[in-house]
Amino acid sequence: MNQIRLKRLNHTYSEEISKILHDEMKDPDLNFVTITACDTTNDLSFAKVYYTVLEDSKKDVVAAALKKASPSIRSILSSRVNIRNTPELRFVYDNSIEYGRRIDEVIEKIKEKDHHEGTDE
C-alpha cells in the first residue's frame, strides 16, 4: 500500500478507535485510555494501536479490558471506515510518554545540580 495512504489510514484508525472507546464502550476501565498512534501493516492484516493510561496503576487492568474489547472495537471500526478488510487490532502500551517524563526529571536534576554548583563558587 502507498505509504501516504497508509499514514492517512493509521491517523483515521487512531481517531476512530479513540471515539469508539469513549462513545461506544461501556467498560469503565476504558474511560481514561488515550490512543497515541496506530501502525498498520502494509497488507492491512494487523494494526498495532498504541495507548496510554491516565493512572499508571491501572495499566494491567486496561490492557486486559482492551484485549477483551478488541473484537467489538474491530467490528465497530469496520462499519465506520470504508475499507475491504479491517485489520486485527493489537493494543500496545505506549512507553514514550513515561520515557519523556523520566528524561525531563533527569534534565531538571542536572539543572538543579548546575545551579547549586554555580552558587557555591
Write down all domains in the chain, each with its CATH number in brackets.
3-94 (3.30.300.20)
Of all residues in the chain, what percent carry a pLDDT higher than 70?
97
Distances in Å between the Cα of 104 and the Cα atoms of 110, 111, 113 are 10, 10, 14
Convert the pLDDT of each residue in 19-44 to its tens digit.
999 999 999 999 889 999 999 999 99
Cα–Cα distance between 83 and 55 in angstroms, integer? 34
pTM over 0.85: no
Tell me the pLDDT band of 119, cut-offs 50, 70 and 90: low
